[in-house]
Amino acid sequence: MTWQPEIDELARRKALAAELGGEERVARHRAAGKLTVRERIAGFADHGSFREIGSLSGFADYDDSGHLDEFTPANFVCGTVLVDGRPAMVGADDFTVRGGSAEASLHHKLAYSEEYARSLRLPIIRLVDGSGGGGSVATYLDIGRTYVPPLPGMGDQIAALAEVPVVAAALGSVAGLGAARVAASHFSVMVEGTAQLFVAGPPIVRYATHEDVPKEDLGGAEVHTANGSVDNPARDETDAFGQLRRFLSYLPSSVWEVPPVVASDDPVDRREAALLDLIPRERRRGYDPRRLIALVCDQGSFFEVGPRWGRTVVTGLATLAGYPVGVIAMDPAVWGGALTADGSDKLRRHIDLCNTFHLPVVAFVDQPGFAIGTVAEAAGTLRRGVSMIAALYQASVPFFSLIVRRAFGVAGGALVDRGRPNHRAAWPSGDWGSLPLEGGVEAAYRRDLEAADDPEALRADLLSQFEAVRSPFRTAEPFDIEEIIDPRDTRPMLCEWVGLAYPTLQPGPKATGYRP
């Protein structure tokens, strides 16, 4: 006697699970431009590396003799994969089985996958398409009662943010707990035109708020990549997977490791002449901060995170001489680069990310201060800005501030003075103080200007007097700025610094974890 009958039954059940929601539902799913759950995993992971966990889980019906009659697989597929040769845990929803709804899910399977990842210190990849295990009123009739709403696995999902990289892709209509799983990540993408994200979908919104709004207008990529609920848009699923993989490439597999250093053939002594005239002499003119980053960092290495929200701040990941770093810059073309409420939130999240995963940070500082005016005050700019400052002061990761132009007020000060030995330098275009000079003159000499027979002449005279003392060289004399450099020396200086910084990195969890 052998176990061949059971082996045959195993093969039969796996074949039934591979049918997903059935031929008709799979065809509809593909017609909507979406890959099936296993096609998604195969498209994301290194070829042939998927090792499934729970391949036989689902819902079975048996005939009177106890033989399997029908089998519907659970609509959550998970297992380990390799991503660029490094192990990770992937969990993916199957929309072809009951539309990804709770009735076809096994809550403990999803929770187990993330507990498993934490126990082995594996990055977590969430491919979300549906409610992600969230509730449905149809369950009430099945069990004959209502229930106090649970959040299965949420404790582990939040704890994981302080331990391993977590990335998520919204690949369809994602609501409730599924939407929360996307937002509770270090990096998220959603496919334009295909994916939507909601607290609740159009039918519930129509009942609760009397708004009859299409799902794309309610929660499409245009909405959520502009408000920061999701970091980046993706053209299609392949683009989404590529962005997830690239983001992970800068990070260690867990906080118990340092970021992986890669080979770079970009010369560390590259001196870009274009940096000499990048900053305009006219202080009210802008420039492209992304060009600045590209000229300094390893060529082609900059990966921007959150380009559509908090747009006064540019954040992302890059490498310098092959060393992964976090990058911060300000965009003077948006609100003059002033730090808005959304910009503060974006900056806080990025600082938390870099601190959690031991990424040294390079900040290209051109900060005129917090945004002002009625819109800024109504948005709670000061409170959210102070939260960002707290993240800066709590961070222990090496931080280099390069002042390329302005550093004014509390917001500017926070980026260049974090209460520990400063790694910083400035370009000759540096301009700093408690207030921008032009606005500061208006405040300090208001009564004189109001009383003057020729306010414009007095204003011009005052500004000319102050112009002589605003030279950054005068600030360098008392060692109030450590070094002023030729802009062309920026890359060589930063490549040298990051090489010195990496041996100081200390793997392990941080006292303050990541705050999504």
Looking at residue 138, what is its pLDDT?
A: 67
Q: Which of 265, 352, 350, 353 is nearest to 313 (CA)?
A: 350
Checking if the pLDDT of 134 tops 60, the result is no
pLDDT tens readout for residues 64-106: 888 888 888 999 999 999 999 999 999 999 998 876 666 556 7
21 or 419, higher pLDDT: 21
Q: Which of 197, 269, 265 is nearest to 230 (CA)?
A: 197
Q: Are strands 86-93 and 124-128 parallel, antiparallel or unpaired?
A: parallel
451 or 2, higher pLDDT: 2
Task: Point out the least confidently predicted range of 290-299, 383-392, 442-451.
Answer: 442-451
Count helices and strands (H / E) in the chain.
21, 18
Looking at residue 24, what is its pLDDT?
A: 87
pTM (global) more than 0.85: yes
Looking at residue 146, what is its pLDDT?
A: 82
Looking at residue 268, what is its pLDDT?
A: 97
Looking at residue 419, what is its pLDDT?
A: 65
Q: Which range has highest mean pLDDT (145-154, 429-438, 465-474, 495-504)?
A: 495-504
pLDDT, average across residues 278-283: 93
Cβ atoms of 78 and 92 closer than 8 Å: yes
| Structure token pair of residue 85 | 């040769």
Cβ atoms of 18 and 38 closer than 8 Å: yes
Looking at residue 450, what is its pLDDT?
A: 82
Domain with CATH 3.90.226.10 in the chain: 4-249, 273-434+475-504
Please give the mean pLDDT across all residues of the chain.
92
Looking at residue 464, what is its pLDDT?
A: 76
Q: Which of 478, 486, 468 is nearest to 425 (CA)?
A: 486
pLDDT, average across residues 344-354: 97
Looking at residue 135, what is its pLDDT?
A: 60
Checking if the pLDDT of 140 tops 80, the result is no
Write down the CATH number for the domain with range 4-249. Answer: 3.90.226.10
CATH topology of domain 273-434+475-504: 2-enoyl-CoA Hydratase; Chain A, domain 1 (3.90.226)
* Distance (Å) of CA 2 to CA 5, 56, 67, 158: 8, 22, 20, 47
pLDDT tens readout for residues 162-182: 999 999 999 999 998 889 999
Looking at residue 105, what is its pLDDT?
A: 64
Looking at residue 179, what is its pLDDT?
A: 92
Looking at residue 421, what is its pLDDT?
A: 64
What phi, psi does 364 have (nearest 5°)?
Answer: -90, 100
R_g over Cα of the chain: 27
